[in-house]
Amino acid sequence: MKIALVYKSKMGASLFYAEALAKALGGEVFFHKQIPAGGYDLVIYCAGMMAGSIDGYKKYKPALEAAGKEVWTAVSCLATPTEELRVKTAEKAGLNSEKVFLLRGKMNVNRAGLLEKWMLMAFRAKLRNKEAKTQEDRDMINALSYPTDYCDTKYILPIVKKVRELEV
């Protein structure tokens, strides 16, 4: 199976996962502005989540679909990946949830653009003002306050497993 891993990475997590998937699956890695013209059985778009959306997916969707017979997304996020979050992310992007995978990412607010930084700081303030904070809330406040890296190759295992099932 010929696989292209296309990444859009602001914090480095999506590049980390694209390279890890390429190593595990034997695929080729491409920067999002250099999407191949075609010839792939599977394209996996690796990008971060911002405000519940897959960063850049709508913009690059036509090129991703032209590059391969099938397109999946590997979305890095700060939140703990849950089935509920995966389904919500897929719905918001108009995707089949079976083709959306969530991976823990990393955050360094200082690397964000001005508008993104403002949004992240507003979100952190909202979480700080909550009276009853969950552990997830406290983790998110920490991730938005200090550079945080949750990247781990264990998060790619469901993707690798599903690709291996397709190859049989």
Whether residue 74 is found in the same domain as residue 126: no
Q: What is the mean pLDDT of the chain?
A: 93
Whether residue 56 is found in the same domain as residue 10: yes
Structural domain total, the chain: 2
pLDDT band at 80 (very low <50, low <70, confident <90, very high): confident
CA–CA dist 9, 12 (Å, integer) = 5
* Domain housing 42: 3-106+149-167
Check pLDDT > 80 for residue 91.
yes
> How large is the average pLDDT for residues 10-30?
96
> How large is the average pLDDT for residues 66-95?
93
Closest CA to 44 of 68, 9, 11: 68
Whether residue 73 is found in the same domain as residue 59: yes
CA–CA dist 68, 16 (Å, integer) = 22
For 37, what's the count of Cα atoms within 13 Å in the CB-facing half-sphere? 0
Q: What is the pLDDT of residues 143-154, one digit of tens each?
A: 899 999 999 999
Q: What is the pTM for the complete model shown?
A: 0.90
CA–CA dist 141, 27 (Å, integer) = 36
Whether residue 118 is found in the same domain as residue 130: yes
Whether residue 35 is found in the same domain as residue 116: no
